[in-house]
Amino acid sequence: MNAQTVFLIVNLIGGVAVLGSYAIGLGYFPEYRDELWGGINGIWRNVLITVMLLSGAAYLTFCYFIVFREDIHTYGTHFILGPHTISLLTGLFLLSATMWMPSAILYMHTENNIWWVFTVGALWVTALSLLSLTGMYAFSTTAPIPVFDRVVCTVSLSIITFHCLVLDAIIWVFFFHK
C-alpha cells in the first residue's frame, strides 16, 4: 500500500475514533461537560472554541496536501519508517487524542490519580507527536517538496500543535484543578 493510502486510512479510522470518544463522552456523561473545560470560562471559552475550529481546519488542510498533492507522498523516505513515518506519527496523535476524554472522565468519576496521569500523558503524547510532524516539515531538507507545500503543511501543523501543546497540554492541565 502506498504512503498516501495508509495515511488516509489512519486518518479515517483515527478521526472516527477521536470524534466517537468525544460523542460518547459528552453523550453518556453530560454531568462532566463543564468540568471538561478545565476551569476555562466566559470569553476564554469562546476563544478556545474558535481556536479548536481553526485547528481542525488547519489539520484538514495538512491532510489535503498529504493525500492529493503531487510528490509530497515521497516525503519521509529518509526517516526510520520511510514514508510511513508520517502515518505513524499521525496515528499516535489520533490514538492519544482519542484517549484524552475517556481518561479525563474516568479521573473525574473515580478521582483515581492514575487516570489523571493517563489524561496528562495523552495530552502530551498528542502534542509531541504533532510537534514532531511539524518539525519534519519545517526543518527536513531531505525531500524535494515544493516550497509552497512545505510552508502550508508547516503552518497548518503549527496551528494545531500550538493548540494541543500550549492550550491543552499546558494551560488546560494548569487550570483543571483551579
What does the pLDDT read at residue 133?
92
Tens digits of residue pLDDT in 62-85: 999 888 876 655 666 667 777 788
Per-domain residue ranges of the chain:
3-176
For residue 81, how many C-alpha atoms fall within 13 Å in the half-sphere facing its CB?
Answer: 9
Q: What is the DSSP secondary-structure string of 117-168?
A: HHHHHHHHHHHHHHHHHHHHHHH--SS---HHHHHHHHHHHHHHHHIIIIII
The pLDDT of residue 124 is above 80: yes
pLDDT of residue 140: 73
The per-residue b/e assignment along 38-64, b for 16 or more CB within 10 angstroms, e otherwise, is: bebeeeeeeebeebeeebeebbebbbe
Name the residue with cell 460518547: 24
Let me know the angle formed at the C-alpha of 126 by 7 and 122, rounded to the nearest 5 degrees: 125
77 residue type, one letter: T
In this predicted structure, the answer to whether residue 30 has a pLDDT above a threshold of 80 is: yes
Question: Which CA distances in Å does 119 have to 33, 82, 148?
Answer: 16, 30, 36
* Alpha carbon 106 to its chain's center: 21
Integer angstrom CA distances of residue 90 from 59, 63, 111, 160, 163: 11, 10, 30, 12, 16
**pTM score, two decimals?**
0.92
The SS3 call for residue 177 is coil
Contact status, residue 39 vs residue 176, Cβ threshold 8 Å: yes
Separation of alpha carbons 86 and 178, rounded Å: 37
